[in-house]
Amino acid sequence: MFFEISLTAIAGGLLCLDRIFFQVMISRPVVSASIIGLLLGDPYVGMITGALIELIWIDRLPVGTVVPPNDTISAVLISAAVILAGRSLGAVSKEVIALGIVLLLPTALAGQIMDIWIIRGNDKIARAALKTAADGDIDGVSRLHIRALLRTYLINTVFIFTALGIGVYALQTIYPLMPPAVLKSLVYVYLFLPILGVAVALNTIHLRGMLPVFSGIFLIVMIIFEIV
């Protein structure tokens, strides 16, 4: 499992860079979780968890100086933790997915705090780059840009590696201890999450165009297929 956790951390760190560098939308939860699912051999679970998380955080926009919750980190961690823990538990069930979301969804808020810290650190590098540019050192400016990029990547990668190890262990430990009544409640949580997500998406449709509609329809169809 160490290899899978390391692979997820490396890939997740690259996906997080899309939020500030590549900006080709691979950092969106519905995409990033699907990629992680594909890497770990279970793209279906990746798509399900990604669609859920996409809808839950769809109303938190990076407008102006606002730093939204890091839904990319949340999507990567939840999809990977559910898949890896599910293997040791025998199967990735609805209960495991719901528990994974409940336990690890707050990592988006932890990622938000980390993003603010990264931005403040990169601001200092940006000021240093301006001074270096004023001195005519073009190569120095390039080195500072690369330094900021590597700093962001390493922080995200280490965070994902650490949080994923803890998350998988927590799922493997907590899930077998749950009584039948709690497991039944997790099934209801699993079925309720798409409704909550679609409600959030409908509230923001004028902001994100067709993305929330696509995610909502995709998720509902996938849930129907699973139930049937």
Proportion of the chain in helix, strand, coil states, percent, rounded to 5: 85, 0, 15
pLDDT at 210: 52
Provide the terminal-to-terminal Cα distance of the chain, rounded to the nearest Å. 32
- The angle, 0 to 180 degrees and rounded to 10, between the axes of the packed helices 43-56 and 71-89 is 140
Tokens of 129: 């780059």
- The CA-based angle 56-59-63, given to 5 degrees, is 140
3-state secondary structure of 210: coil
Distance, in Å, from the CA atom of 144 to the CA atom of 76, rounded to the nearest integer, reads: 28
Query: For 19, phi and psi rounded to 5 degrees?
Result: -65, -25
pLDDT of residue 162: 95
> CA-CA distance, 169 to 4, in Å (whole number)?
14
What does the CA dihedral 45, 51, 57, 63 come to, rounded to 10 degrees?
A: 120
State the pLDDT at residue 193.
76
Amino acid identity, residue 82? V
What does each of the 228 residues of the chain score in pLDDT, given as a tens digit? 889 999 999 999 999 988 887 778 888 888 999 999 999 999 989 988 888 888 777 666 655 567 788 989 999 999 999 999 998 888 888 889 989 998 998 999 898 899 888 888 877 877 777 788 777 777 777 787 788 888 889 999 999 999 999 999 999 999 999 898 888 888 888 877 776 666 665 665 555 555 555 555 556 656 665 565
**What is the DSSP code (8-state) at residue 40?**
T
For position 215, what pLDDT does the model report?
58
CB neighbours of 209 closer than 8 A, spacing ≥ 6?
A: none
CB-based burial label for 138 (10 Å; 0-12, 13-18, 19+): exposed
Q: What local confidence, expressed as pLDDT, does residue 124 receive?
A: 81
Tell me, what DSSP letter sits at residue 24? S
pLDDT at position 82: 94
Q: 72 near 102, Cβ under 8 Å?
A: no
Burial class (CB in 10 A: 0-12, 13-18, 19+), 97: buried
